[in-house]
Amino acid sequence: MKRYSNMISIVLATMLWFMLAPVDTTHATGSPAVDIEAKMRELLPDSHYQYIITIPQLPSNLPSDYDSLTVQLQGDNRPFGNCWVKLYFYSNGFVFNTANLGLQVQWFQPVRIAAETIQRGDALSDDMFAVVQRELKTLADPPLEAKTDLHGYEAARTIREGITLTESLVQPEQLIDRGDRVTIVYDNGALHITAQGEAREAGAKGQVIRVRNISTKKTIYAEVQNDQSVKVVR
């Protein structure tokens, strides 16, 4: 029985060691603020973005003599804006102190800002925009990355000067407008037929739209090939 109790004690001690042993810790620099910021940066996504981490005030009871520390996110695990973290301080491989800390994370990304007012339907190009760093938390709509190729895109609605270019403000360039006359192409390899049609809705390259055959008066579905022709899909 005694031997069994000893084995239980050894197992419990081993489990406790694994629970407290440091994993992916930041080694001490002598400054808790520096160590906490370094660890927070490891937790943030996409290191090519710019982050500003602000620690309003360090708790007065934080230890100054430690080997390493670990930072654990609290709440919804989204470290943007005001957030809380839990700190684990290690000495000789074991946790000897913990603390809760509130801090602020600002996340900046290169985005395009309209250098002029762009009208709905205008084709977009790089010279219409300036690239600046902007905090993402202030944007309700995801920004279009500054490196995105604008060729083939147009303004989905009017974009005022100074507005950040976001995903909802762009759409594939509409090659055909409702009411445009187009050439309907039917091609199954063995048979090639063309006819004149009228677009019943606008469409970008590759989009399927409704087209009315002028001769037969029937409406068919066709894929936009360019600004003058569509290809029958069904």
Three-state secondary structure string covering 131-199:
EEEEEHHHCCCCECECCCCCCCEEECCCECCCCECEHHHEEECEEECCCCEEEEEEECCCCEEEEEEEE
pTM exceeds cut of 0.75: no
pLDDT at 11: 40
Residue 48 pLDDT: 63
Q: How far apart, in Å, are the Cα atoms of 72 and each of 23, 27, 104?
A: 11, 15, 15
- Pair 185, 194: CB distance under 8 Å: yes
Q: What is the C-alpha separation between 6 and 4, in angstroms, rounded?
A: 5
> Using only C-alpha atoms, what is the Rg of the chain?
30
pLDDT tens-digit map of 115-163: 999 999 899 999 999 998 887 766 667 888 888 889 889 999 999 999 9
Q: Hey, what are 17's tokens?
A: 């060691």
Q: Which amino acid type is present at position 212? A: R
Residues of the chain with pLDDT under 50: 2-4, 6-8, 10-24
Give the DSSP H or E segment for 8. Answer: helix 2-20
Buried residues in 192-214 as b, exposed as e (16+ CB within 10 A): eeebebbbbebbbeebebbbbbe
CATH of domain 175-232: 2.30.30.760
Q: What pLDDT sits at residue 57?
A: 85
Domain 110-174, what fold?
A: Type Iii Antifreeze Protein Isoform Hplc 12 (3.90.1210)
Annotated domain spans of the chain: 24-107, 110-174, 175-232
